[in-house]
Amino acid sequence: MTSSQVDKQYDGSEAVGGDAPEEGYERGLGSRQVQMIAIGGAIGVGLFLGAGANIAKAGPSLILMYALAGAIVFFIMRALGELLLYRPVSGSFAEYSREFLGPFFGYFTGWTYWLMWVVTGMAELTAAAIYVHYWFPAIPQWVTALVFLVVLFVANLISVKLFGEIEFWFSMVKVTALIGMIVIGLGVLTFGFSSAGDTAAVSNLWAFDGFFPKGIGSSLMTLQGVMFAYLAVELVGVTAGESENPEKTLPKAINTLPWRIALFYVGALTVILCVVKWTEFAPGVSPFVAAFAKIGIPAGAGIVNFVVLTAALSSCNSGMYSTGRMLRNLAESGEAPKVFSKLSSTKTPAFGITVSVLFMGIGVVLNYVVPEKAFGYVTSVATAAGIWTWLMILVSHILYRRAVDAGRLPASSFPAPGGAKCSWIAVVFLLFVTGLIAYDADSRICLYVMAGWAAALGVGWKVLKARNPQVTERREPELEKVG
């Protein structure tokens, strides 16, 4: 998640329900920055690092898993798009949960989305430490993770204008590098140059024990990791939903999502698995780094490693800024301590960022205690929190369509294809992925974490209801003119 996306998400000109506008954040992000960051948001550590372990588990069939999950993500995005053009809101997921399911679900979704980004920050720190390990194997992972945590925390006190420019160039590096990898890979396949040229072939997709070398069951088990790779894609819709002309920008942003998935995920993995046979990839190593090392381009693997390192740091940096903004949004809604609503002299929610960074520090501890499993643990928790958010979007969409059919609410100008049917398909798919998480002994721990999280939020809700009953009452939203 990028600061620009959060600025758009939480800095709308009007608040929900006719409340006072949310003021105080520094504006100054141009469309150039927002567009590039939206494109770059589809490329993250889940693809750059997580794909390595998943290739080892599923072989070439991982391509199909990314395509299947990508289709489901598109259904989620179309559902979100319909809601955003029915009523653009600054609180987004939490606000729709609050409207269609009740105040408790809005509160729960807002805090769980914050948790998702805190845990994602841990994953990015872990990934960055692994990338540095490529150059400096003698440095312990936890030391690198701690250094990055401190440096990025300091960097988050910079103004959003400069921050947006930094994120623009980080995204530019990711997009350019990934397209370059695809072009070089196609060149190796077509012209046979480099040390990988003799063995590169499309037949590598099925020549080594078939397209499903470990069986369909093993391929399906990678879906939890695949879904983690798609976390934050929904923020493209939120960014567009808070833009000056959502009726034009939102459909364009969402309808181009399948092309981004096809190019950056399905396309890139297909090319890599054609150039290098799947048996040569291993968990904990970026498949892109391994592929360039195999091709033998001078310094190619090092360059790619640098690219994926900047991608991880960029995402973590943005996540820190985002979590501070989320805490401020919850505080403005009366669902978090008021101290989180205060801004520093540099117009940043410094206290919220500080608290979020302290929680991200748990990732440093994990890198010290279980460095070989830290990435898997934190990605499973982030995935579980992300699945909850996506389910709330889908259920809110289903209830919204019922209200439209009954004539209680106005229709959106960007209806999802198939009405609520595709949302139901996505709900079933997400519940299936949750079942896979429960079945896998290594990732099952995230469900225990989420159960503890739910219990803690339940206690918090009881306290909130006792102290400020008005916050916990259902309020009818004020509909705003869109377009």
Per DSSP, the residues of 4-36 read HHHHHHH--SS-GGGPPPP--SPP---HHHHHH
Work out the average pLDDT over 213-226: 91
Work out the average pLDDT over 466-476: 77
Task: Please give the structure tokens belonging to residue 74.
Answer: 């598109």
Work out the average pLDDT over 170-199: 83
Please report the domains of the chain, with CATH numbers, ordered by start residue.
3-472 (1.20.1740.10)
**pLDDT band of 335, cuts 50, 70, 90:** confident
pLDDT at 72: 95
Work out the average pLDDT over 121-143: 85
**pLDDT band of 254, cuts 50, 70, 90:** confident
For 156, 271, 286, the CA distances from 348, given in Å and listed in that order, are 8, 42, 34
**pLDDT band of 395, cuts 50, 70, 90:** very high
Task: Quote the pTM value.
Answer: 0.83
**pLDDT band of 9, cuts 50, 70, 90:** very low
Q: Report percent pLDDT > 90 for the chain.
A: 26
pLDDT at 23: 40
How large is the angle between the packed helices 350-369 and 300-332, nearest 10 degrees? 130
pLDDT at 30: 55
pLDDT at 246: 64
Selected residue with higher pLDDT from 248 and 479 = 248
CB atoms within 10 A of CB 468: 12
pLDDT at 1: 42
Q: Is the pLDDT of residue 276 over 90?
A: no
Spatial separation of the C-alpha atoms in residues 477 and 483, rounded to whole Å: 18
Work out the average pLDDT over 400-413: 93
Task: Please give the structure tokens belonging to residue 401.
Answer: 């369509």
pLDDT at 461: 93
- Contact assessment for residue 63 and residue 268, using Cβ atoms and an 8 Å cutoff: no
pLDDT at 130: 83
pLDDT at 168: 78
pLDDT at 285: 76
pLDDT of 423-448, one tens digit each? 999 999 999 999 999 998 878 888 99
**pLDDT band of 79, cuts 50, 70, 90:** very high
pLDDT at 105: 92
**pLDDT band of 336, cuts 50, 70, 90:** confident
pLDDT at 31: 56
CB atoms within 10 A of CB 108: 24
Spatial separation of the C-alpha atoms in residues 39 and 31, rounded to whole Å: 12
Task: Please provide residue 160's backbone torsions phi and psi, each rounded to the nearest 5 degrees.
Answer: -65, -30
Task: Please give the structure tokens belonging to residue 182.
Answer: 């695809």
Q: Is the pLDDT of residue 284 over 90?
A: no
pLDDT at 2: 41
Give 348's contacts (C-beta < 8 A, 6+ positions apart): 156, 157, 159, 160, 321, 324
Average pLDDT over the chain reads 80
Task: Please give the structure tokens belonging to residue 218.
Answer: 């093993």
Q: Is the pLDDT of residue 140 over 60?
A: yes
Spatial separation of the C-alpha atoms in residues 274 and 205, rounded to whole Å: 6
pLDDT at 42: 61
pLDDT at 481: 46
